[in-house]
Every structure is written in structure tokens, then in C-alpha cells.
Chains A and B, each alone.
Chain A
Amino acid sequence: MIKDDYKYGFSMPENYVYKSQEGLSQEVVLKISTMKKEPLWMTTFRLKSYEQFVKKEMPTWGADLSTIIFDNIHYFVKATDKTEKEWSDVPKEIKDTYDRLGIPEAEKQYLGGVKAQYESEVVYGSLLKRLSDQGIIFCGMDEALAKYPKLVKEYIGKLIPPGDNKFAALNSAVWSGGSFIYVPKGVKVDLPLQAYFRINTANMGQFERTLIIVDEGAFIHYVEGCTAPIYSTDSLHAAVVEIFVKKGARCRYTTIQNWSKNVYNLVTKRAKVEEDGIMEWIDGNLGSKITMKYPAVVLAGRRAHGEILSVAVAGKGQHLDAGAKCIHLAPETTSRVLSKSISFDGGRASYRGLVQMVPGAINARSKVVCDALIMDNFSASDTFPSNKIYESEVTLEHEATVSKIGEEQLFYLMSRGFEEHEAEAMIINGFIEPIAKELPMEYSVELNRLINMQMEGSVG
């Protein structure tokens, strides 16, 4: 196990059952591929990725990752093994949170990592049929590899090659689960697609791999994760998400990350956007011990547009190092970054961003706004913007504000009859409102409630 202060006050003897499988080697990688009955090219892809992983250095910037001990991590846990865990082992704090969020029992157990089943499979079945009638492919990544190997081979690792960074290499070597979506030309999906529509395929794995292809003129909104805390005994989460937005297409990808507070969440997310395409990353980070995540838009075609809206809430023992990357490769490309962070109770929230404009990206425009709200004297916020501009005819704006929660605001709201924590919640909800309003309604409401609960100190 990764060193951890075990605030939930329980231990998981089950961990020892897997002790023999701890650590990573060529053999483990081979075994994963064999167990999954994968085509040879994927086995090769995994093995080469493993070599990259071994060679790559740990990042020397960002959050402190020195406490990760790769040899102590289980890289291969069969899905069936997971269901053997007991619901009673899930920490009380997390169960209480589910209750307060009003999440039904079946879903609670699923989120608790205990079971992967859902009462209303029929409803989801009919939804999946409606999607497939339109030619949309929406399935688990393992299933996609079996059913659509050509499509997967054409795109996987093309935007985030295994050698991109150590954790992308790790994911490429040992990935399991994740979503695969293909939206055909001109098809616009009106409902947000949510990961738990295919809840019976384990989708919230440790090393999930997601691949989304939105063909010309198509539109999709994908929602990943859940505002409820996701309990994981696995303490390293290294996902890779690759998105291809074709000419005139639009993709919106919404994530609410609320891993339990023992998890290292190290995710590589990148989208390539062709001419007139639009990519929107909406990213909420609440949980984890450490997060390093910088959703990127590679604006490859003329007039391509990228947006990265993010909110990070860092409490006790958390360091959330999140940000955005906007790479402008073509003329008239535009990007917008809005980053909001809240740090409280000793938490640390950092914004780390890159705006790059290559020669020839004439009339490219980018606007970056970072707002940080610090709740007390023990908490911290920092901003690391980086601009690499190699074209003169461009526009770049950067605004950053840091504010401490104001005595005047608190007094004002309290003088209207609200208790201190209610007043704080109002200020915080107001602060994140520009991002919350972009979320599907139920997520927006849950996000506000969850943040309020964290602030009350009633949730781990």
C-alpha cells in the first residue's frame, strides 16, 4: 500500500490475498493481455509501453509523488475479485455521504466498489438501442477492442503516445476498462452520455483508457464520474483520455472527480480539434490525495475552438495540481480557460497552464482566467502559467485573482440571519457558479451540496 494516514480508521485484510501480484513486470503485462485475449498488436503496444514506463523519469515538477511505490501496487485485479469485498468495509463517512446525497442503495454499492449491477438495466438497454440505431458506438474499451479492433488501432495512442509521460506509459501498458465512443458524421446526441449507462461493465478502474471519436459535424456530451465520493482501495489512478473532434464537430467532456482521499490521481487528457470543431473540457476535482491533471486541446484546424473550465476544491491533506493546455497550431484558433480553485483546512490548489501558439497560427486568440479563493491562513493556492508564443499576430489575455474569504462578505450574509457555515457556502457556491452552471442540473446541485458538506467538516 501507498503510505497513507488511514483516516477512515479501518484496514482491508483482503489486500494480502493479492500480495503475490504486487509490482509490475513484463510478465504481468503479458498476463493482462493474455487474460483479455487481445490481438497481438495490442500485446506489443502494451509491452513497448512498459519499456517506456521503465525508462521514463518521474515528473520533477508539480505535486510531490515521491511516496508512490510502484512495486506495491496491484496492476491487475480481476473484476470478479472486486465484487468479493463487503459493503460493510466501505468507510462510514462515504456511506453517510451517499445517504445525504440521497443515492439509491444499488448505486451506493456500485460506487463503493462492491457490486457492479443496476436494477434498471432494461432502461439503459433501451437507451443503448436508441444510440446504436443512430450508428453510435458506446461501450467499454475492452469490448471495443474485441468488436472494433480496426477503429481502436487507428486511434489509440495516436494523440497521447505511450512515451508522452511516465503515467501515460504506465496506463498504456496495463490499461483496463474505460469508455469507447464513436459518433458518426452529423449525428447529434441530445442527452449527455454518462459513464454509468453501462454500469455493468467495470468502468471506474484504476488504469482506465477512454477513446472518443466525434466525426464531422457530430455532437456529444460525455459525463464521467460522479459527485459522490468513489471509494477505492487502489491508491494509484492513472487514466488516459484521447478525444478526436473532426471538422465542424463538437465534444463536451464533463468530469467530476471525487476519489477517496488516499488516491493519487494522475490523468492525461487530450483532445485534437479539426477545422471549425469545438472541444470543451469541464473538470471538477474534489477528491484524491494528489491530483495532477491538465486537460489539453490541440487546435489543429482553422477556427478550431477549445474551452477548459475547471474547479478544484482542496481540503486537509490534499494537493490538487490542475490546469489546462491550449496548443494553437492553425490560424484563427481560439481558446478559453477558466480555472477556479478553493483551498481550505490546510489544502493546496495549484493552477498550472500552458498556452502555445506556433508560427503561422495567425490571429489565434486565447484568454486565461484563474481565480483562487483561500478560506483560511493554513491553506494555499498558486498559479504557474506558461506561455510559448512564436507568432506575433495573436492575442493572449491572462487574468488571475486570489482572494481570501472576506470578513465583510461573511458579516453581511450573517447579518441576514445565516450561520457562518451557511454564509461561507453561499460565497463559495457563488464563486464556482460560472462553472456549476455549465454542468447538467443534477450534477450542479450535487456539486454545491457536496462542497457545502465538506466545508461543514462532516465528510472525511
Chain B
Amino acid sequence: MAIKPGEVTAIMGKNGSGKSTLAFTLMGHPKYKITEGEIEVDKTKINDLAPNERAELGIFLANQYPAAVPGLGSTSFLWQIYKKRNKNKTNIIEFREWIETQAKALDLNLDLLKRGLNDGFSGGEKKKMEILQLLVSNPKYVILDEIDSGLDVDALKKIALTVAKVAKVKKIGVIIITHYSRILKYIKVDRVHVMEAGLVKESGDSSLVDRIENTGFENK
């Protein structure tokens, strides 16, 4: 499987087919051990790298169920990421204004930015916070792990269009993990892989999405 800068790859499959495991493995979650195979980012082998080292190489994972960190101010966390991941530094005042603009565009209540990270956030609010983190992280490769679950139609559209835009402008390679095709209405897909029991069962172009939409994963 190869992800190219500026290209969008969809990974589809039923629950339990190994999609999220793949996402965590790419990001280096300590729960998953690689027994076989290699992951390379821009020709660097990353199998043994810690999550923060992978982040430094430009990988970003938007989680399906982001953890909450009470007492860690959301805005200050975003600012910390920004400082870490961007060479051109702005000042915190400008940054705050910028992040508030982005939050408004996503329809995220600004009061949440004053709270602890994801502390008491609804499912949809957490997803929007993931997108804000994506925007400040300046990544080269993005994995969206079921970013569409638990979102209403409007929120889904806003998030999808935001990702599509930044991916295009910054030539980000995107992996969208989903079992619904609805998010793919807003983001043009270049390549589709269908997973089953931890393996890629089928690959194709965007026409594969339409076929799954019509006949489900079982069809062959």
C-alpha cells in the first residue's frame, strides 16, 4: 500500500476488519506489535519509532475515540503543538485569533477551547478538536480513523470540506478509514482499499466506493 502526497486513499471494511488496528499501528500505539512487514515514511523505516518521532516525520492520526486530559487547557495544548510543529512562529495573540476563526468555521463552541482537552466534550466536539489539532500540526500524511462516526450531516460536511481543502493546498497524503461512503461525497478519492480480517481484500479507484454503496462489502 502506498500513500502519495496530495492523494486521498479510502480504507473501507466492516467493523472488526482491522482498519483501526492499521491506523494505530501506523501511529505506533504501544498495544500493537509489528510481527511482519515494514512501514516507511519518505524512505525512513518507522517500525521502531515512538509516536512522537512519527509525528515529527509528519504523520497525524485523527482518532476515533480521542482521550480526554482534564485540566490541560485546549487552547494551550493547540499552541504547544503549533510551536512544536511549525517553523514560522506567530505570537500567541495572533494564534488565538486564528484558532478561534478555525473553530468558528467548524461550528465549534468557543467556550470549549477554554476547557480541559476533550474534557466533557460530545463525540462530535471531540472530532472537531481533532481537526483543529490537524490544522496546527502541519502534517504530511493524515489518517482519519472513522472521523465520520457520531457526526450529524452538517458537521460531517464541514469537517470533510476542511480536510479536503487543507490536503489539497498543502499536498497532504490522506487515509480515510470508514465503513460508510457518505464522507467520500465531500472528498474526492484517488484509491480505495477494502479490508477484511486484517488484510486488503480488494483495491481499486473511486468506482469501488459506488459499488460498495450499492451492494455492500459482501459482493464479489
A residues whose Cβ falls under 8 Å from a Cβ of B? 406-409, 411-420, 423, 426-427, 429-434
Contact = CB atoms under 8 A, between A and B. Distances in A.
Contacts of A420: 50, 52
Given A406-B67, A408-B67, A414 B72 contact: no
A414 B71 contact: no
B116 A433 contact: yes
Given A414-B51, A417-B56, A417-B137, A430 B116 contact: yes
Contact of B72 (A407, A415, A429): A429
30 contacts: A406-B67, A407-B30, A409-B69, A411-B27, A411-B51, A411-B67, A412-B66, A412-B69, A413-B69, A414-B50, A415-B27, A415-B52, A416-B52, A416-B81, A416-B84, A417-B52, A417-B55, A417-B137, A418-B80, A418-B84, A420-B52, A423-B52, A426-B80, A427-B72, A430-B70, A430-B116, A431-B70, A432-B71, A433-B71, A433-B116
A430 B117 CA distance: 9
A447 to B, nearest CB: 13
B85 interface: yes
Interface of B is mostly: mixed
Contacts of A418: 52, 80, 84
Nearest to A411: B29
Given A417-B137, A418-B52, A419-B52, A412 B84 contact: no
Given A415-B61, A416-B133, A417-B85, A431 B67 contact: no
B51 A430 contact: no
Contact of B81 (A411, A417, A431): A417
A434 B85 CA distance: 29
Contact of A426 (B52, B54, B72): B72
A429 B70 CA distance: 9
Interface residues of B, number: 30
A416 B83 CA distance: 11
A415 B66 contact: no
B82 to A, nearest CB: 10
Contacts of A414: 50-52, 55
Interface of B: 27-31, 50-52, 54-56, 60-61, 63, 66-72, 77, 80-81, 84-85, 116-117, 133, 137
Contacts of A432: 71
Contacts of A407: 30-31
Nearest to A407: B30
Contacts of A411: 27, 29-30, 51, 67
Contacts of A426: 69, 72, 77, 80
A377 to B, nearest CB: 16
A415 B51 contact: yes
B186 to A, nearest CB: 25
Contacts of B116: 430, 433
Contacts of B52: 414-420, 423
Which of B27, B31, B67, B133 has the most chain A CB within a 10 Å cutoff? B67
A212 B54 CA distance: 56
B116 to A, nearest CB: 6
> Which A-B residue pairs are the 3 nearest by beta carbons?
A430-B71, A433-B71, A430-B72
Contacts of B63: 412
Nearest to A434: B71
A423 B52 CA distance: 10
Nearest to B77: A426
A434 B72 CA distance: 11
A431 B68 CA distance: 12
A333 B184 CA distance: 60
Contacts of A423: 52
B55 A415 contact: yes
B172 to A, nearest CB: 16
B50 A409 contact: no
Given A414-B55, A418-B80, A429-B72, 18 more contacts: A407-B31, A409-B67, A409-B68, A411-B30, A414-B50, A415-B52, A416-B52, A417-B52, A417-B84, A418-B52, A420-B50, A427-B72, A430-B71, A430-B117, A432-B71, A433-B70, A433-B116, A434-B71
